[in-house]
Amino acid sequence: MINETEPKQNTEEKLDLAAMYEATFRKISEGDIVKGKVIALGAKDAYIDLGYKSEGIISRAEFKNLGDIKIGDEFEVFVESKENEDGMIVVSKFKAEKAQGWTKIASRYKEGDFIEGRVSRKVKGGLMVDVGIEAFLPASLVALKGFGNVNQLMNQTLKFKIVKMNKPRKNLVISRKDALAQERDEGKKKLIGEIKVGELRKGAVKNITDFGAFVDLGGIDGLLHITDMSWGRISHPSEVLAIGDTIEVMVLNFDSNSMKVSLGLKQKTESPWKGAEDRYPIGTKVKGKVVNIMPYGAFVELEKGLEGLVHVSELSWTTRINNPGDVLAIGDAVEAIVLSIDSGNQKIALGIKQIEANPWIEIKEKFTADTRAEGKVRNLTDYGAFIEIEGGIEGFVHVSDMSWTRKINHPKEFLKKGQKLEVMILAVDSESQRISLGIKQLTPDLWPEIVKKYSLGTSVEGTITKIASFGFFVELEKELEGLVHVSELELEPSQKLEEAYKVGDKVTAIVAKVDETERKIGLSLKKKE
């Protein structure tokens, strides 16, 4: 007899067994994060037991090093797809970490908060930073100024500011620039409360100019002026410092209101001027090197940071030197005598000519007034000429001492540079180191005779030598001229002086004035009885 209930029972049992079998596996949906265990390793993939009827597959490329994964490893994965073409579940360890990391960060941080992270890799437009998930750091937000050097940040763990959180896309944009600004402000506040005049602080050279260098003390920039870099002479700050150098400086002055800090480098060592008056008493013979030349003299370095000035007047006893560069050059080794010293004002006066005996003591005895000497014209000025009379010794002849009778407007009308001539010693001033010379004094004064010869009313003849707006000059004899003033001419109202008379014309005139004191002769062309 056939039991009709048996097939029905078998069917129900099978259904129960299937339900029991299904119940042994967890429920998995796409987007879930589940725990898995590595059960096999392929060349490119790893196979994961997810506790599901199908195994999961994950690319070994997700692991930085192939040795980082082995059979038995357990970790959480993200379910990307429940079934690929081979019927396997595609999972991702990286996406699981990202999803978990985002949840963690989203619960802890918000825009404007600061977060730490490690710069992991360089991408187009900036850097990627591992803060638990990968965050994007734009190149424009890397440094306080400009784009900075992104390569220097690689693999560094730094502080960043969250500037944008895109929750739907789970994207994070961060800024190193804002974090640096906060650190700078915090450092500045701390520094304001700590900084003291006279203390030593370390800083980084931030910028170099012609007048000094700016040093970052950790939030506040201080100025290190070129004059405070070295006791010695430097031409440019770049001779001492370079941008990026870490140096120790002394705080010379600090104004908390203006936030201005003056710094010093040379002040770390003792000033060479301390005790200089004991080391260089007046009259001491010293050796040094010419370090600078100016129109008024030359600076000589006696030791590092200590210089003396040789004034142009202290270069030679006898030779007239207009430019120190004519006899000295930078780098020359010289000997000098200390003439005066003022360590308070950091000044030393030196003399080179004092190395030799003063020749003016002998000159005063050798060249007395009213004696004659041979000379050579060395230089012409507007008012006279310098004449060398012996071994570099020069005297000066004024334009008024060149001729008794001739009116000389400029020495070049009477003398030439290099011309040899005889002169008369008029006076010797050894203290001022001056000799006054004369040329006209070599001959007797002719004016007493001229006064007799050209008495008032005398008729004379001469040649016009020069025409001026006020009249013209007439040469009466060699180096003797008379002036015909326009008031002593008979001209028609429409007639002009330069049209009526020419240089070279012969004229006959009457002596209208003779002044022996002023040494002038006035002539007239008006008709007189």
Measure the CA–CA gap between 321 and 296, rounded to whole angstroms: 10
Lowest mean pLDDT among 115-119, 255-259, 321-325, 514-518: 255-259
Mean pLDDT of 303-318: 90
Does residue 5 lie within any of the structural domains?
no
476 and 500, same domain (yes or no):
yes
Last residue of some domain: 355, 387, 418? 355
Indicate if the pLDDT at residue 20 is higher than 70.
no
Does residue 39 lie within any of the structural domains?
yes
Average pLDDT, the chain: 84
203 and 262, same domain (yes or no):
yes
How many helices (DSSP H) and strands (DSSP E) are in the chain?
7, 30
**Banded pLDDT at 319 (limits 50, 70, 90):** confident
Cα distances from 25 to residues 17, 21, 51, 86, 416, in angstroms, run 13, 7, 6, 20, 125
Does residue 425 lie within any of the structural domains?
yes
* pLDDT at residue number 29: 76
**Banded pLDDT at 63 (limits 50, 70, 90):** confident
CB burial of residue 107 (10 Å; 0-12, 13-18, 19+):
exposed
Q: What angle do CA 74, 78, 82 make, to 5 degrees?
A: 110
Domain that holds residue 381: 360-442
Does residue 3 lie within any of the structural domains?
no
What does the pLDDT look like over 272-285, one tens digit per residue? 888 899 999 999 99
Residue with the bigger pLDDT between 388 and 527: it is 388
* pLDDT at residue number 472: 92
* pLDDT at residue number 151: 76
DSSP SS3 for 171: strand
Residue with the bigger pLDDT between 104 and 448: it is 448
Mean pLDDT of 52-60: 81
- CA 174 and chain centroid, separation: 39
Q: What angle do CA 107, 111, 114 make, to 5 degrees?
A: 85
Does residue 77 lie within any of the structural domains?
yes
Which residue has 């990202």 as its token pair?
A: 98
Indicate if the pLDDT at residue 294 is higher than 90.
yes
Q: Is 80 in contact with 72 (CB distance < 8 Å)?
A: no
What does the pLDDT look like over 371-411, one tens digit per residue? 888 889 988 998 899 998 877 788 899 998 888 877 788 89
20 and 38, same domain (yes or no):
yes
Strands 506-515 and 333-342 come out as: unpaired
Residue with the bigger pLDDT between 480 and 7: it is 480
Most confident of 98-112, 146-160, 239-253, 399-413: 239-253
309 and 324, same domain (yes or no):
yes
In the chain, the percentage of residues whose pLDDT exceeds 70 is 92
Q: What is the CATH number of the domain that holds 501?
A: 2.40.50.140
349 and 364, same domain (yes or no):
no
Number of domains in the chain: 6
Does residue 103 lie within any of the structural domains?
no
* pLDDT at residue number 336: 94
Q: Is 214 in contact with 222 (CB distance < 8 Å)?
A: yes
Last residue of some domain: 320, 355, 390? 355
Does residue 190 lie within any of the structural domains?
no
Last residue of some domain: 245, 268, 291? 268
Which residue has 């007047």 as its token pair?
A: 313
**Banded pLDDT at 1 (limits 50, 70, 90):** very low
In the chain, the percentage of residues whose pLDDT exceeds 90 is 27
Does residue 368 lie within any of the structural domains?
yes
Q: What is the 3-state secondary structure (H, E, C) of 80-138?
A: EECCCCCCCEEEEHHHHHHHHHHHHHHHHCCCCCEEEEEEEEEECCEEEEECCCEEEEE
* pLDDT at residue number 148: 62
Strands 126-130 and 114-123 come out as: antiparallel
**Banded pLDDT at 24 (limits 50, 70, 90):** very low
Q: Is 291 in contact with 234 (CB distance < 8 Å)?
A: no
Best CA proximity match to 386, nearest among 441, 433, 436, 424? 436
* pLDDT at residue number 10: 58
* pLDDT at residue number 316: 87
